[in-house]
């Protein structure tokens, strides 16, 4: 047997072993239920990942809700696209600027509560198979929303409904509750090298 043949055989054996392991794990996961996902961390990619899941859900004709806290003045590409092309998506935005621009705590709290009411309605409606609550973590961190109430609603949502929460931080209680928690690490960001935020990439 040549060296190449031996390598190929070894590779095949390793892959077979790997496949057996993966197949066993797939067979073990028997629970059918919606998934609660937290995308957090200081790196770029949280909200855009959530919109990736919106696309996935839409591919299967699912009804989707998106609620965005902390909206910048800048429109985003996802907002423009969803508004024009995705009638199955209910899109709601807090509608105020960034909190560090508004500098109005009581106004921000009222806006946060109004916005949460929209999210809560979706999180109680089994017609929605996916609900994205974008930048929710800041509302909890600033105590604009009552953490316990928010967690209760997420916990008691319809069993087939998935929810994606995004934002930095989020706290240990939220992390505990969610089924999947991913932290996007900030290794480097173009902005810090003086490169301007870009359409289609950053917004």
- Segment interacting with Mg ion (CB under 5 A) among 41-49, 100-108, 145-153, 183-191: 41-49
- Give me 159's structure tokens: 């069993």
Q: How far is the CB of 98 from ligand ATP (least distance, A)?
A: 10
The piece of 10-18, 91-99, 152-160, 182-190 that touches ligand ATP (CB under 6 A) is 182-190
Q: Which does 179 bind (CB under 5 to 8 A by kind): Mg ion, ligand ATP, none?
A: none
The total of other beta-carbon atoms located within 10 Å of residue 80's CB is: 11
| Smallest distance from Mg ion to CB 46, Å | 5
Per CB under 5 A, the segment of 29-37, 45-53, 140-148, 190-198 that binds Mg ion is 45-53
Q: Which of 40, 47, 161, 162 binds Mg ion (CB under 5 A)?
A: 47
101 binds ligand ATP (CB under 6 A): no
Verify binding: residue 76, Mg ion, rule CB under 5 A: no
Position among 34, 37, 40, 46 found at the interface with ligand ATP (CB under 6 A) = 46
40 contributes a contact to Mg ion by CB under 5 A: no
Q: Is position 142 an interface residue for ligand ATP (rule: CB under 6 A)?
A: no
SS3 for the chain is CCHHHHHHHHHHHHHHHHHHHHHHHHHHCCCCCCCEEEEECCCCCHHHHHHHHHHHHHHCCCCEEEEECCCCCCCCHHHHHHHHHCCCEEEEECCCCCHHHHCCHHHHHHHHHHHHHHHHHHHCCCCCCEEEEECHHHHHHCCCCCHHHHHHHHHCCCCCCEEEEECCCCHHHHHHHCCEEEECCCCCCHHHHCCCCCCCCCC
* Site for ligand ATP, rule CB under 6 A: 42-48, 166, 184, 186, 189, 191, 197, 202-203
* Site for Mg ion, rule CB under 5 A: 46-47
């Amino acid at each position: 047997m040549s060296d190449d043949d031996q390598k190929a055989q070894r590779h095949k054996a390793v892959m077979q072993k790997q496949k057996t392991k993966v197949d066993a794990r797939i067979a073990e996961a028997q629970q059918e239920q919606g998934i609660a996902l937290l995308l957090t961390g200081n790196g770029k990619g949280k909200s855009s990942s959530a919109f990736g899941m919106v696309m996935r859900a839409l591919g299967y004709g699912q009804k989707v809700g998106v609620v965005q806290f902390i909206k910048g003045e800048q429109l985003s590409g996802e907002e423009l696209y969803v508004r024009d092309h995705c009638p199955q998506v209910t899109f709601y935005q807090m509608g105020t600027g960034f909190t560090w621009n508004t500098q109005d705590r009581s106004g921000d709290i009222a806006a946060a509560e109004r916005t949460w009411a929209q999210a809560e309605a979706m999180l109680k409606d089994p017609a929605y198979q996916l609900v994205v609550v974008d930048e929710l973590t800041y509302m909890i961190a600033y105590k604009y929303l009552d953490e316990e109430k928010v967690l209760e609603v997420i916990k008691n949502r319809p069993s087939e409904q998935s929810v994606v929460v995004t934002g930095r931080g989020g706290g240990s209680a939220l992390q505990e509750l969610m089924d999947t928690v991913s932290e996007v690490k900030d290794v480097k960001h173009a902005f810090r090298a003086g490169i301007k935020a870009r359409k289609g990439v950053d917004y």
